[in-house]
Amino acid sequence: MDMSQAADCSEMDMSQAADCSEMDMSQAADCSKMDMSQAADCSEMDMSQAADCSEMDMSQAADCSEMDMSQAAGCSEMDICQTTDCTEMDKCQTGEITMSQTADCNEIYMSQTADCSETDMSQTVDCTENDMSQTADCSENDMSLSQTAECSETDMSQTADCSKTNMCQTADCSEIDMSQTADCSETDMCQTADCSEMDMSQTADCSETDRLLTVVGPTDC
């Protein structure tokens, strides 16, 4: 296995759960032929984080079918839907596109062109007229994935009260990159608690570790 993070995972890349075969970055059980899947029963998906999501790309919610990650204008259906009942949304890289990741988020854009200001890729409820600019003249937030309220100066923050954080998915995460749990300081992709100075660690009490891949870490983790 390559970067397997769970037990009984064969021929996987960055698998994070058990019984996941032929997967890439799978984080749940019973997920076959998936890339970065984080939920169970998700087949033939890319970066799926929820259950019952078939033939999707970066889907993070349930019951989102036939979605992809289109990078051009005039894309139909959905791209990167992270909640239920998100229809006719796209993740194009030009203009007039939508990347809603929660329910009741209308007119949310994921533009990757110039002259985009304020927020980008908001994932919270009732977020309208937001942009995700990845090019020039984009002030304040670039690729902000805020899924909750009170996330200031955050990059891809998905929870509340996460300031100056990159992809923080829980509360009280300061100066963390892709942290998904609480009390993880100076961590890169830490998904559990008490993980300091780690890179993509998903278990607890593993200090100075690079890409810890098992649920029960080794003695020298």
Predicted confidence (pLDDT) per residue in 55-65, tens digit: 333 333 333 33
pLDDT of residue 169: 38
Model pLDDT, residue 31: 36
**pLDDT, tens digit only, all 221 positions of the chain:** 233 333 333 333 333 333 333 333 333 333 333 333 333 333 333 333 333 333 333 333 333 333 333 332 233 333 333 333 333 333 333 333 333 333 333 333 333 322 223 333 333 323 233 333 332 222 333 333 333 233 333 333 333 333 333 333 333 333 333 333 333 333 333 333 333 333 333 333 333 333 333 233 333 32
Tell me if 173 sits within 8 A of 186, measured CB to CB.
Answer: no
pLDDT of residue 197: 36
Exposed/middle/buried for 211, CB within 10 Å: 0-12, 13-18, 19+? middle
Tokens describing residue 65: 């079918």
